[in-house]
A = this chain, B = another copy of it.
Amino acid sequence: MKSCGIIVEYNPFHNGHQYHAKMAREMSGADVVIAVMSGNFLQRGEPAIIDKWTRANEALTNGVDLVIELPFAYAVQSADYFAAGGIKLLHALNCEALCFGTDNQSEMDYELFGNFVKNNQIEINQLYQTIKNNGMSYPQQMTEVFRRLYPSSGLDFSSPNHILGLSYAKENANYEKPMKLYPLKREQAGYHDTNIYQDFASATAIRKAVFSDELAQITKVLPEKVVIDLATLPTISWENYWPLLKYKLISSSTSDLQEIYQMKEGIEYRLQEAAKNSDSFQTFMEQAKTKRYTWTRLQRLATYVLNNVKQQEITNSWNHTHLQVLGFTEQGQRFLREEKKQLTLPLITKVSKSLKTQLAVDIRSNQLYQLGHPSILEQNFGRFPIRIR
C-alpha cells in the first residue's frame, strides 16, 4: 500500500487540516494517510487545547487513516528536532511521501534545498559559528547564513511553517531512501493570522475564539466533531498549569532547576523571580521574557520545568523511540498489518507498566496533563487505539 505521511499537532483540528489530509492523499496518490501527531504537549511549549486521544479521533473522522504519537522528546523542541522526530517515525513506517504546509510564496524546490544542506553541512556550520553571537535570533541568523551561501534560494526563516518545511527537507535528505516531498501552499490563513476567513482560520485564531467563549463564531471553520468536542470537553491552556509551575519553580533549589533540560546561562534565577511575582502564566512569561529568549523558547523551557524533564531522560527517549498508535481507520489498520514485519521501530498499541522506563517522559507528561482539569481522562494505561469504521 502506498502511504503519505503528514506531521501535525492539531491544536485544534480544523478545516485547513482536513484539506491538508485530503491533498496529501491526492497529490501523492497514497492509499493511506499517516499523521505523526504531537501528544499532550506541543512544539511551541504549550499543553494541547484538547487531549491527544480526542484529537486523534477528530483526525481519523476527517481524512487521516493512522495516527502515531510523536514522543514528547521530539515534539516539544525547536523545528530541527521536531522534524527529525517526525521524519524518523515516518521512515520507520516505510512511508514513501511527505506532504507539509508552507507559507512560502516562491516555488521553492525543497528536495534541492535538502540536498544542498546535506552536501554543504561543514560550510553552513562554519559560517553559523562566525555569526551566532551577533545578537540576532536563530531564525535571523539562519536566514543570513543562507543569504550568503545559497542566495538563489531566497530563504526566509521567519515563518514557522516554512521553517518546519525546511527542517523536514534537511532531515529527509539524510536518509538512504528519502520520501518524496509534497509542499502544500496554505490557503488564506497564515500561521500567525488571527482573522477568521470563510472556511479556514489558523489554529491560533481558533484558540483565541475558544478561550473568549466565541466558539459559535468559528463553527464554519471546524469539522462538526471538533465543534462538539470543543463545546463539551475541557479546553486546556497554560493557565490550567500555572499554580503547578509556580509551585515547582518556588519549591526547587537553583541546583534542582539546573538539572532541567535546556536550563542554562542562569535563566533559572530569572524564572524563580518571575514566578514569585506573578499570579498568572501570562504575567510570568511577560516578566521572564528577555531579548535573548524568544517567547516560544521560554515557553518550551516552562514545559520542561512543569514536566521535570532532565537531559538524560530526553536522550533516553531518543534512544528508545517507539511507534505509539493512537488510532486508525480500517485502511490504517490494514496498512499496519501489512507493514508490521518491516517496521524499523517497535510498535506500541498499549502502554504497559513494563515500558515505564523507556516511556518515562511520555507517561509522566500525560499524567501531568491530566492534572490540568478533573475531567481529563486517563491518558496512559488501559487506553487502546481508537478504531474508526
**A311 within 8 Å of B (CB atoms):** no
**A160 within 8 Å of B (CB atoms):** no
Of the residues B252, B368, B374, contact of A247 by C-beta under 8 Å: B368
Of the residues B251, B313, B367, contact of A276 by C-beta under 8 Å: B367
Select from chain B the residue with minimum beta-carbon distance to A259.
Answer: B256
Alpha-carbon separation in the docked complex, A374 to B279 (Å): 9
Alpha-carbon separation in the docked complex, A307 to B279 (Å): 20
B-contact bits for A26-48, CB 8 A (1 contact / 0 none):
00000000000000000000000
B-contact bits for A340-379, CB 8 A (1 contact / 0 none):
0000000000000000000010001001100100100000
Q: Which of A139-159 contact B (CB under 8 A)?
A: none
* A246, A250, A364 pick with most chain B CB within 10 angstroms: A250
B-contact bits for A293-307, CB 8 A (1 contact / 0 none):
000000000000011
**A233 within 8 Å of B (CB atoms):** no
**A1 within 8 Å of B (CB atoms):** no
Q: Could you tell me if A371 and B307 are in contact, using CB atoms closer than 8 angstroms?
A: no
Q: Could you tell me if B246 and A371 are in contact, using CB atoms closer than 8 angstroms?
A: yes
**A108 within 8 Å of B (CB atoms):** no
Smallest CB separation, A93 vs chain B (Å): 31
Q: Which of A88-106 contact B (CB under 8 A)?
A: none
Given known contacts A247-B244, A247-B247, is B371 in contact with A252 (CB within 8 Å)?
Answer: no
Alpha-carbon separation in the docked complex, A313 to B368 (Å): 28
Can you list 14 A-B pairs, Cβ within 8 angstroms, ordered by A? A243-B243, A243-B371, A244-B251, A246-B371, A247-B247, A247-B248, A248-B251, A250-B371, A251-B306, A251-B364, A253-B308, A253-B360, A256-B308, A279-B374
Taking A244-B244, A244-B251, A247-B247 as known contacts, 13 extra A-B pairs with beta carbons closer than 8 A to each other, sorted by chain A number, are A243-B243, A243-B244, A244-B247, A247-B368, A248-B248, A250-B367, A251-B306, A251-B307, A251-B308, A251-B364, A253-B360, A256-B308, A279-B374
